Structure 1
Amino acid sequence: MNNDLTHPYCTAFLGMRVVASGSLHHVVSTVKETLDDRDLTQLLIFDDSTGRQIDVDFRGNTDDVLTRLEEPFGALPGTEVNHQPARQVGRPKLGVVSGEVTLLPRHWEWLKSQPGGASVTLRKLVEEARRAGGEQSKIRESQEATYRFMTAMAGNFPQYEEALRELYAGDLDRFYHFIEDWAPDIRDYIKRLAANAFSLT
């Protein structure tokens, strides 16, 4: 089994310093073999895509810890990699599904006047709306991931609240300004989580 597909990529912090980064298996193996038990009790591991903290039971040897990792992640409903529906062999059917659309007369007149007619125009409008919605969803997910990590690791840092406001206001320059003097590893990881938090337009 490819563990990189079933486990998240993550980053481990000991205090304000990054001690390991990569797949969860890599991070767990690295810290287990390099840190003592006291440090492991203070270690915090964060999911690189969601900013959520990952709890790991470090009791026993490295193999014991890695074996326990399979228990929660193997049954996660969101791991679609191992739960893809069976696909039929052959070319997929790409059909047009008809349905009823209710519009005002002026809407129909406008649609009919567009190049390609009403159907082509409606399809274009739907695709544009889907793309716009996808962009907003990506921004929101990045904001939330950044917020989770900032709350856990930088909640008592100077200008934390100001930085948080700029994160949600979408002001990249001011956000960077407020976190510039923070601990380097924490600041850089926040920038990484916030990579998609600001609109490009």
Structure 2
Amino acid sequence: MSDEDRDLVLFDGPRRIARGSDAAVAAGFRKALAASPQAALRVFDLATGRPVDLHLSETEPAPAPKRGRPRLGVAAREVTLLPRQWDWLATQPGGASAALRRLVDQARKTGADDDARRLRTDAAYGFMVEMAGDAPDFEEASRALFAADRDRLAALIAPWPADIRAQILELFDGEAA
């Protein structure tokens, strides 16, 4: 995913002031900074809940075209398996690489809901740590988040600033994605 494709959110202290692509949030960042040079601005990637750095220049130079063969999107990496697993892979149609690709695709399909929930929980937790790590009941709220107990989470974070609370619940619910 390129930087332009990210879904970002901009906070000024506990207040959410912008959301959108890198370009949209960078424009909001520049505007907020011009209005208040001492603003406590923080930008988060909603896919991860983690803070990100923005490129604030309004125009980015186009990357120079690369020479040579085009990339095919295949990445070679090391895989460590037991001998019996290599033996089984060797008997599969298309060889080990094709069998591993099929197994990964199958696992992605069958575990997609669990993976999505885990990613949402991780994003909500990452955001919570950054924006509310010292807030009252943070530890209990974290437990409720990882237990997927939305009602308890909402009750525990009710005293927190409204925009922070709303962002956590949006991440938890998957509305921020």
The reply to whether TM is greater than 0.5 is: yes
Measured at CA, do residues 5 and 156 of structure 1 come closer, stay the same or move farther in structure 2, by a change above 3 Å? closer
The within-5 A match list for 1:29-178 is 29-36=27-34, 38-39=37-38, 42-56=40-54, 58=56, 65-67=57-59, 99=92, 130-178=108-156
State the alpha-carbon separation in 1 of the partners of residues 112 and 167 from structure 2.
Answer: 24
Give the structure 2 partner of residue 184 of structure 1: 162
CA distance in 2, matches of 1:19, 1:196: 20
**CA distance in structure 2 between the aligned counterparts of 1:7 and 1:131, rounded to whole angstroms:** 24
How does the TM-score come out when normalised to structure 1? 0.59
Separation in 2, partners of 1:84, 1:195: 36
Query: SS at 1:35's partner residue?
Result: helix
Query: Which of structures 1 and 2 has the bigger CA Rg?
Result: 1
Per-residue deviation, 1:142: 0.7
**SS in structure 2 at match of 1:66:** coil
Question: Percent identity, aligned pairs only?
Answer: 32
Shift of the 44–136 alpha-carbon distance from structure 1 to 2, 3 Å rule, reads same
Superposed displacement of residue 172, structure 1: 1.5
Q: Which amino acid in the other structure matches residue 173 of structure 1?
A: D
State TM-score, norm by structure 2.
0.66
CA–CA separation in structure 2 for the residues paired with 1:19 and 1:173: 26
Quote how far apart the aligned CAs of 1:187 are.
0.4
Paired residues, what number?
138
Q: What 5-or-longer segments of structure 1 have no aligned partner?
A: 59-64, 75-82, 86-97, 101-125
C-alpha contact (below 8 Å) 1:12/1:45 kept by paired residues: yes
Q: Which structure features the higher share of helix residues?
A: 1
Q: Aligned to 1:161, what secondary structure does the other structure show?
A: helix
The C-alpha deviation readout for 1:115-165, integer Å capped at 9, x for no partner, is xxxxxxxxxxx96x6544111111111111011100000001111110100
